[in-house]
Structure 1
Amino acid sequence: MKRHFTIVSLVLATAVAGCQPEGLTEAEKATVASLSLSALPPLPPDPSNRYADQPRAAAFGATLFFEQRLSRDGSVACATCHLIDRQFQDDKPRSVGLAMTNRRSMPLAGVARTPFLFWDGRRDSLWAQALTPMEDPREHGGTRAFYAHVVKDTLRDRYEHVFGPLPDLSGVPVSAGPLGSEAEKAAWAAMSDGQRADVDQVFVNLGKAIAAFERNIVHEPTRFDRFADANRAGRQPEGDAALTDEEIYGLRLFIGRANCVTCHNGPRFTDDHFHNTGVPPVAGLPDDTGREAGARQVLADPFNCLGRYSDARPEECRELRFMVKDSPEQVRAFKTPSLRGASARPPYMHSGQFGSLKEVVEHYVQAPKSVSGHSELAPLKLSDREVSALIGFLGTLSQ
């Protein structure tokens, strides 16, 4: 009887072990380890922003991030579309500031590590990205001169504590800028070169302070990270470090046959590149060619890494200098989003085309052709159980 009990126990132990990290192949173990937040290298500096890692700049940037006075009617802040309790994103298919935009907001955790910003990569730094919504009539809707006066009237002490004395704005119109109304653009054109340069510098400094704050928004470890770290250390995952059989099955699909890790790789689960995956357009919206248009815009942006307001030396602007400028693969290509926290923040894709992760996975299984350009997808053969397991694994990146 005792020998029979020992044999049964051994069989059960072996079966359980097969579902644990020890059952992963060496190649799988290496891939899983590479996806853990523990494998994330230190945050690199931003040579284009000399204030990027100054605590007082970050503190001022936090104020600006939540400041509704930095909008035309005082109702919109960065935090309007980047909610602190929603992983600095919102729950809308398309974000709404002063009006509805054409795309979904992107989460901000870890955003300081990406070389190009927005779904189409039309900006190449956090500070340049922060400036863009401020002049968009559908988002903050203000002008550069307007924001300079807001600083002068309400935030002068905080601003000067970081950036030094404000320039003389006494002769600057209350609202003027190159992207405002016809009257505001005319007022901008009538300003002297020195006045425009002064206003631009104040405007740029607001972006650099916001960027300093956003560099501190990071991903928090989840069950997957605890599982991955235990796996790497050769420990048996226990408690909230253990994954269920279904989650491990989904993980194996993710890094294996489903090919998800091809684009969603590294500790942030993104390659930071742009891909055409055949996502359908949204009826009623202008044609969105993604990176094809974004590449042109980042090169023309006066606030890019090579511009006069960048603190970087030209040789430090490698991403911008050597980026792919014109390629058929860029047509309808959009940035690979991080999958960390994704299961908790539907809808999905650049304009909220899919309402659930099941719809997303089914899109990748079917791999429809793109309406223009060429989709990189090839059809996948996944059973209903495999789709469910894959979604189950993605949940471990949110808790």
Structure 2
Amino acid sequence: MRRRSRFLALMMAVVLAGCTKPDFSDAEKTTIASLALSSLPALKPDTTNRFADVPAAAALGSTLFFDQGMSGDGSVSCSTCHKIDRQFQDDLPQAVGVGRTNRRTMPLAGVARDPWFFWDGRRDSLWAQALTPLENPLEQAGNRTAYAHYIKARFGERYERIFGPLPDFSDMPLDASPLGNDVERAAWNAMSGPQRDAINGVFANLGKAIAAFERSIAPTPTRFDRFALNLATGAEPKGDAVFSKQEIRGLKLFIGKANCVTCHNGPRFTDNSFHNTGVPSVAGLPPDRGRIDAVHQVEADPFNCFGAYRDGDASACGELRFMV
């Protein structure tokens, strides 16, 4: 009987030990609270896109995002890689559109909060980013004038209710782009300056509509957020908000000795900067020079913040002006 009592007492001690609240210092609690989604500030307006928060623009952008007609061969849409049930990415090591790319798909939850876009930051606005895959031969593989003709034929009325009258495309080629194949580039170069500007204006508006939709894609609370809320309020954690001892140790390392939080900080676990982590090139892929090439690409982009297709004034271009 005495042995059984000692055994029950030991088991009770183990259970109670497992239920003990995590022991964090006040400084650690402050850091953990800063990582929770509840500390995420309101989304700032995008003054370079005056349609960014227009519901009709977001609705059109959503349609375009899921439309396979927004590709050269009609087989790929933005959602091919940015899958709605996978945090708007695809779990593949390399994205696969019309072809296979050299990098994995970026998740889109909270993307509107980024100062730079793509892994290397080669675009400086969400709407300029949205344009790039449309003409990339490995992603959606379309061309600028083809998209303009497609929009006029299929979504002309919706487009004009948001952006105003579409230009007259009757004397413009069906397939032309400054980034396309030899035939498409020749057709683009044969167009007049006003014609190219008209096409670019429509193309920019497509990006602005898609960006308006993507601004609505917000990160959703995770186990960590529920844990952080309980820790901040002193509530007893329940369900998946209960962290194991190993998880607690990992969290303490993350915000402490391991210094992970130096770069992975804030409610999105990022400092929005670029770092050389020393990861070697992937075998079978061309060397990835990262940010150094992206700097030149974003400077040359006609849709960047200093370009003619930006809304608002240049006061929004601080990131590009002081780019590093």
One fold, TM greater than 0.5?
yes
d(CA) in 2 for partners of 1:190 and 1:226? 59
* CA pair 69-36 structure 1, distance change in 2 beyond 3 A: same
Computed over aligned residues only, the root mean square deviation of the Cα atoms, in angstroms, reads 2.0
Partner AA of 1:192 in structure 2: S
Once the two structures are superposed, what CA deviation does each residue of 1:120-164 show, in whole Å capped at 9, x if it has no partner? 000011110010011111111111101000011111122112112
- SS in structure 2 of the partner of residue 197 of structure 1: helix
Partner of 2:112: 112
- Higher relative contact order, chain-length normalized (CA < 8 Å, sep 6+): 2
Confirm whether residue 20 of structure 1 aligns to residue 21 of structure 2: yes
Once the two structures are superposed, what CA deviation does each residue of 1:233-263 show, in whole Å capped at 9, x if it has no partner? 2323233322222211111111112222111
With 144-153 and 246-255 compared, the bigger mean Cα shift is at 246-255
Partner of 1:79: 79
Q: Does the 8 A contact of 1:179 with 1:185 survive in 2?
A: yes
Q: Does the 8 A contact of 1:83 with 1:90 survive in 2?
A: yes
Once the two structures are superposed, what CA deviation does each residue of 1:78-109 show, in whole Å capped at 9, x if it has no partner? 01111111110012111111111111110000
Q: Does the 8 A contact of 1:126 with 1:211 survive in 2?
A: yes
- Map 1:125-140; keep pairs closer than 5 Å: 125-140=125-140
* CA pair 248-173 structure 1, distance change in 2 beyond 3 A: same
- SS in structure 2 of the partner of residue 206 of structure 1: helix
d(CA) in 2 for partners of 1:317 and 1:233? 40
Partner of 1:59: 59
- SS in structure 2 of the partner of residue 53 of structure 1: coil
Q: TM-score, normalized by length of structure 2?
A: 0.93
Partner of 2:123: 123
Partner AA of 1:111 in structure 2: V
Partner of 1:381: none
Once the two structures are superposed, what CA deviation does each residue of 1:329-369 show, in whole Å capped at 9, x if it has no partner? xxxxxxxxxxxxxxxxxxxxxxxxxxxxxxxxxxxxxxxxx
d(CA) in 1 for partners of 2:307 and 2:182? 26
Deviation of 1:292 (Å):
0.8
d(CA) in 2 for partners of 1:184 and 1:223? 50
Once the two structures are superposed, what CA deviation does each residue of 1:48-100 show, in whole Å capped at 9, x if it has no partner? 10000111111100000011111111001001111111110012111111111
Q: Which runs of 5+ in 2 are unaligned?
A: 1-5
Q: Does the 8 A contact of 1:69 with 1:75 survive in 2?
A: yes
d(CA) in 2 for partners of 1:239 and 1:136? 45
Partner AA of 1:231 in structure 2: L
Deviation of 1:10 (Å):
11
Partner AA of 2:21 in structure 1: Q
Partner of 1:371: none
Partner AA of 2:225 in structure 1: D
Q: TM-score, normalized by length of structure 1?
A: 0.76
- SS in structure 1 of the partner of residue 253 of structure 2: helix
Q: Which runs of 5+ in 1 are unaligned?
A: 325-399
d(CA) in 1 for partners of 2:95 and 2:263? 25
d(CA) in 2 for partners of 1:308 and 1:164? 17
Partner of 1:212: 212
Aligned identity (percent) is: 61
Deviation of 1:12 (Å):
7.3
Deviation of 1:27 (Å):
1.1
Partner of 2:302: 302
- SS in structure 2 of the partner of residue 56 of structure 1: helix
d(CA) in 2 for partners of 1:316 and 1:155? 30
With 229-238 and 76-85 compared, the bigger mean Cα shift is at 229-238
Q: Does the 8 A contact of 1:121 with 1:291 survive in 2?
A: yes
